[in-house]
Amino acid sequence: MENIDYTHLEHIAKIRSDKDKFEIVQYFLSGEGADKNPLSLFVVDRETGFVRITDLLDRESCPSYNLSGIARYRNGTTAEDNIPLIITVQDQNDNAPSFELHTGNINEASEKGTFVMQLEGKDNDQAGTINAEISYSIVSQKPEG
């Protein structure tokens, strides 16, 4: 989930290769958030394959990370590559809806149900979730009536 501090955890995932049964391997991460911007958001312990996170995630900045794990023998040759590690960032309701300011006028003698204006709100939380739902209500009117 975004905006949650996972930096204190020993690991959030583990890269594992079956090739380590025959010879010692070291683990590496590649992709956005590892060796591509944002650099080192995800880091791997080369000996254990434990993947840690170094900062908070923000779904609105990047909703998912497609990382690739790599296992190499100590001599540098590849034991296994393209070990998929996909991290999907869950949305938190961290964005308030926004609205453009509108002023409307209506003639005093207008019939009931006369169209005055249409308002539209926007929310940067994940579309289709409760976090992005917007409800509308009239909280006051002048003159009261």
In the predicted model, is pLDDT for residue 22 greater than 70?
Answer: yes
Q: How confident is the model at residue 145 (pLDDT cuts 50, 70, 90)?
A: low
Q: Six-digit token pair at 138?
A: 């009239």
Q: What angle do CA 126, 131, 137 make, to 5 degrees?
A: 125
Can you give the pTM of this predicted structure?
0.76
Calculate what percentage of the chain has a pLDDT beyond 70.
Answer: 99
**Residues 41-83: pLDDT tens digits?**
999 999 999 999 999 999 999 999 999 999 999 999 999 989 9
Superfamily the domain 13-88 falls into: Cadherins (2.60.40.60)
Residue 102: CA count within 13 A, CB half-sphere: 11
Domain-by-domain residue ranges, the chain? 13-88, 93-138
Dist. CA 79–CA 77, nearest whole Å = 6
